[in-house]
Chains A and B, each alone.
Chain A
Amino acid sequence: GAVVSQHPSRVICKSGTSVKIECRSLDFQATTMFWYRQFPKQSLMLMATSNEGSKATYEQGVEKDKFLINHASLTLSTLTVTSAHPEDSSFYICSALASGGTTDTQYFGPGTRLTVL
């Protein structure tokens, strides 16, 4: 099946720095990608919908100036956590929507674990 990669798989950074997470669809093009966040012992929460060539759509309560999303090509979306703080420590997962025929299939990346010291 289709593969979605994320880089890095885990990152540790100091408070106040910015961290960029990449999401790539390796063998298909994705007009739409999604970014999710998972807090410890909680389920996934949708953060934003990323559409190639246009601005991302953020869910209520997600700060767009803090979580910058860029979907510059049909195979790459990036999430930048700006001025990260310890409360941003979380597991971030992306997914890419593969359109084919009459159905769209969503493929998930393996996730990125962010720890902010």
Chain B
Amino acid sequence: GEDVEQSLFLSVREGDSSVINCTYTDSSSTYLYWYKQEPGAGLQLLTYIFSNMDMKQDQRLTVLLNKKDKHLSLRIADTQTGDSAIYFCAVSGGYQKVTFGTGTKLQVIP
């Protein structure tokens, strides 16, 4: 089955850029998502990218996809304390099971 891996923890200073990385194993993955989870709350979709794209930018968020290496990253520019949360990478082949990574806890230091 699909494996999705992320580092567990990232700490950055307020105002710096954060880069959260994700690797996956199934090269047929079509949809790749980034979700944010604040303490005690459910997942909220941040952004997504299709496998035929290399990059997607949405305000402070930039998603980069390297299909050859099966590597997905989420860059948050000008990181704020409100960005502190757990970020989940998820991949899907479409109308199929979504496989989530373990989540990366982002800590923003004022």
Q: Which A residues have a C-beta under 8 Å from some C-beta of B?
A: 1, 32, 34, 36, 38, 40-41, 43-46, 49, 91, 93, 95, 97, 103-106, 108, 110-111
**B86 to chain A: which residues have CB within 8 Å?**
106
**B105 to chain A: which residues have CB within 8 Å?**
103
Interface segment among B19-27, B35-43, B70-78: the answer is B35-43
Known: A34-B43, A103-B105, A106-B103. A44 touches B33 (CB 8 A): yes
Question: Are A43 and B40 closer than 8 Å at their CB atoms?
Answer: no
**A49 to chain B: which residues have CB within 8 Å?**
41-42
> When each residue 46-78 of chain B gets 1 if its CB lies under 8 Å from chain A and 0 otherwise, what string results?
001000000000000000000000000000000
**Considering the chains assembled together, what is the distance between the CA atoms of A106 and B38 in angstroms?**
11
Question: Are A43 and B45 closer than 8 Å at their CB atoms?
Answer: yes
> 12 A-B Cβ contacts within 8 A?
A34-B43, A38-B92, A43-B33, A44-B33, A45-B45, A91-B95, A91-B98, A97-B40, A103-B105, A104-B40, A105-B102, A111-B98
**B88 to chain A: which residues have CB within 8 Å?**
106
**Considering the chains assembled together, what is the distance between the CA atoms of A105 and B86 in angstroms?**
9
Q: Kindly name the residue among A44, A93, A103, A110 whose own CB sees the greatest number of chain B CB atoms within 10 A.
A: A44
Secondary structure of the A side of the interface? strand
**Considering the chains assembled together, what is the distance between the CA atoms of A103 and B103 in angstroms?**
11
Question: Are A41 and B31 closer than 8 Å at their CB atoms?
Answer: yes
Q: Is residue B15 contacting chain A, with contact meaning CB distance below 8 A?
A: no
**A105 to chain B: which residues have CB within 8 Å?**
102-103
Q: Which B residues have a C-beta under 8 Å from some C-beta of A?
A: 31, 33, 35, 37, 39-45, 48, 86, 88, 90, 92, 94-98, 100, 102-103, 105
Q: Which residue on chain A has the smallest CB distance to residue B9? A: A103
Q: Which residue on chain A has the smallest CB distance to residue B34? A: A43
**9 further contact pairs, Cβ within 8 A, besides A43-B45, A91-B97:** A32-B40, A34-B42, A36-B42, A38-B95, A40-B94, A91-B98, A105-B103, A106-B103, A111-B97
**A93 to chain B: which residues have CB within 8 Å?**
98
Question: Are A44 and B45 closer than 8 Å at their CB atoms?
Answer: yes
B102 to chain A, nearest CB (A): 8
